[in-house]
């Protein structure tokens, strides 16, 4: 089959590789109809190093089940499904709490060995899905392939951020970063009773995109003044860091009010970050780190799409073939596009 292949840091190509096969009774094979290029894919490409060996990237996918293992009970060939971006067993202590990310059997599709054991991803014609009964969900009726591909990661991440932010209806929310996760966080927050939503983004075109989709927007240097204007000088009630790293966290802390909450969903690579503990204590701040979980939140996410409350396809800048995926990586890295959807 044809697939995108990562063979080292910043080395990406398209190649012919063997089709995946059932390796465990709980596996399913899915013919990929849509996948996507995500900011996490860019991070992996830039940090995978040589140790991971060759692997197929891509962790967002929608497709048709073509084969199931003997232990798969929920799906059969022909079912149209969306997949979570990582796997979990579904029955351990962590999974039963709804904390699938901490499952000992977690494997992250298409990210090399950065987040655990290698599991080939979905920027390919077919993908093997371990623990299929847990990882897959049927695509909700009336939801397009282009919308459904966001369920497994980008939309799930934005939804988890909003749920953990703990704001009250009408509160002011700031989102650091106008990439796909930041823009979808803004849309989910608007659908889930936030008042003013401010997208904080240095790139003008992304600020304009945010405004066109219902939020306010500000350059990082002007964001605090806007938050103060909206809140009588208190600052934002909650701030979502959709960038990651010290810059995102520092910006979030500059915007949040006393007693407010910072939720970080951006990917972090630094081993340490200097939390201003004295201020955090005196202001009773909450700082949380959150990873999206489609397996836990699939019902609510599907309802948001079916109702039309959120349309994630607005961030899809382009559709590309598998052959053009390396080019899509470059365009996203240069911030020329928001999100590329892949037609396998």
Quick: pLDDT tens for 189-237. Answer: 999 999 999 999 999 999 999 999 999 999 999 999 999 999 999 999 9
Q: What is the DSSP letter of 10?
A: T
Q: What is the pLDDT of residue 42?
A: 86
Spatial distance between the Cα atoms of 130 and 85, rounded to a whole number of angstroms: 12
Contact 168, 237 (CB under 8 A): yes
171 token code pair? 């509160």
Report the pLDDT averaged over residues 319-333.
94
Q: What is the pLDDT of residue 48?
A: 75
Match 């397996």 to its residue by tokens: 295
Report the pLDDT averaged over residues 137-148.
97
pTM for this model (two decimals): 0.95
Q: What is the pLDDT of residue 267?
A: 87
Spatial distance between the Cα atoms of 95 and 272, rounded to a whole number of angstroms: 28
Query: Where in the chain do CATH 3.40.50.720 domains reside?
Result: 161-289
What confidence category does residue 259 fall into, taking pLDDT thresholds of 50, 70 and 90? very high
Spatial distance between the Cα atoms of 138 and 117, rounded to a whole number of angstroms: 26
Tell me the pLDDT of the chain averaged across its residues: 95
Residues paired with residue 218 on neighbouring β-strands, in sequence order: 200
288 token code pair? 């949380």
Contact 107, 134 (CB under 8 A): no
Spatial distance between the Cα atoms of 269 and 260, rounded to a whole number of angstroms: 25
Contact 98, 116 (CB under 8 A): no
Q: What is the pLDDT of residue 52?
A: 61
272 token code pair? 């340490």
Match 């080395």 to its residue by tokens: 11
pLDDT in tens, 38-80: 988 888 888 776 546 789 999 999 999 999 999 999 999 999 9
Residue ranges with strand state E in the chain: 2-8, 11-16, 28-37, 61-68, 80-83, 126-129, 136-138, 173-176, 197-200, 216-218, 236-241, 256-264, 286-289, 316-321, 339-343
* DSSP β-ladder status, 339-343 and 316-321: parallel
For 161-289, CATH number?
3.40.50.720
Question: Is residue 103 over pLDDT 80?
Answer: yes
Q: What is the pLDDT of residue 190?
A: 98
Which fold, 2-153+293-343? Answer: Quinone Oxidoreductase; Chain A, domain 1 (3.90.180)
121, 102, 99: which is closest to 111 by C-alpha?
121
Query: Where in the chain do CATH 3.90.180.10 domains reside?
Result: 2-153+293-343
N residues, the chain: 344
Distances (CA, A) of 288 to 18, 56, 57, 117, 225: 41, 31, 28, 26, 24
Spatial distance between the Cα atoms of 257 and 239, rounded to a whole number of angstroms: 9
336 token code pair? 């020329």
* DSSP β-ladder status, 28-37 and 11-16: unpaired
Question: Is residue 271 over pLDDT 70?
Answer: yes
CA dihedral 49, 51, 57, 63 (to 10 degrees): -160
234 token code pair? 């208190």
């Amino acid at each position: 089959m044809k697939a995108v292949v990562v063979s080292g840091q910043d080395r990406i190509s398209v190649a012919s590789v063997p089709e995946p096969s059932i390796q465990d009774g709980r596996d399913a094979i899915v013919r990929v109809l849509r996948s996507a290029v995500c900011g996490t894919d860019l991070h992996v490409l830039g940090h995978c190093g040589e140790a991971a060996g060759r692997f197929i990237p891509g962790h967002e996918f929608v497709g048709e089940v073509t084969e199931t293992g003997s232990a798969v009970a929920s799906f059969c060939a022909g079912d149209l499904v969306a997949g979570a971006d990582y796997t979990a067993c579904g029955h351990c202590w962590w999974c039963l709490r709804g904390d699938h990310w901490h499952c000992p059997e977690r494997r992250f599709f298409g990210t090399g060995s950065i987040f655990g054991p290698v599991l080939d991803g979905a920027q390919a014609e077919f993908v093997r899905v371990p623990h299929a009964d847990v990882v897959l969900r049927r695509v909700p009726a009336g939801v397009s392939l282009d919308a459904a591909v966001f369920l497994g990661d980008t939309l799930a991440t934005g939804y988890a951020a909003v749920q953990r932010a703990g704001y009250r209806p009408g509160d002011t929310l700031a989102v650091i970063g106008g990439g796909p996760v930041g823009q979808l966080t803004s849309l989910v927050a608007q659908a889930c009773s936030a008042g003013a939503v401010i997208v904080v983004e240095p790139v003008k075109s992304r600020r304009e995109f945010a405004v066109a989709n219902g939020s306010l927007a500000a350059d990082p240097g002007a964001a605090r003044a806007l938050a103060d204007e909206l809140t009588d000088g208190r600052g934002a009630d909650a701030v979502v860091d959709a960038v990651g790293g010290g810059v995102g966290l520092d910006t979030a802390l500059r915007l949040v009010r006393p007693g407010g909450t910072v939720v970080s969903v951006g990917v972090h690579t630094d081993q340490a970050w200097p939390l201003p503990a004295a201020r955090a204590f005196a202001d009773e701040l909450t700082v949380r780190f959150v990873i999206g979980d489609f397996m836990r939140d699939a019902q609510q996410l599907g309802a948001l799409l079916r109702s039309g409350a959120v349309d994630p396809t607005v961030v899809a800048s382009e559709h590309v073939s598998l052959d053009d995926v390396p080019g899509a990586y470059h365009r996203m890295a240069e911030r020329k596009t928001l999100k590329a959807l892949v037609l396998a």
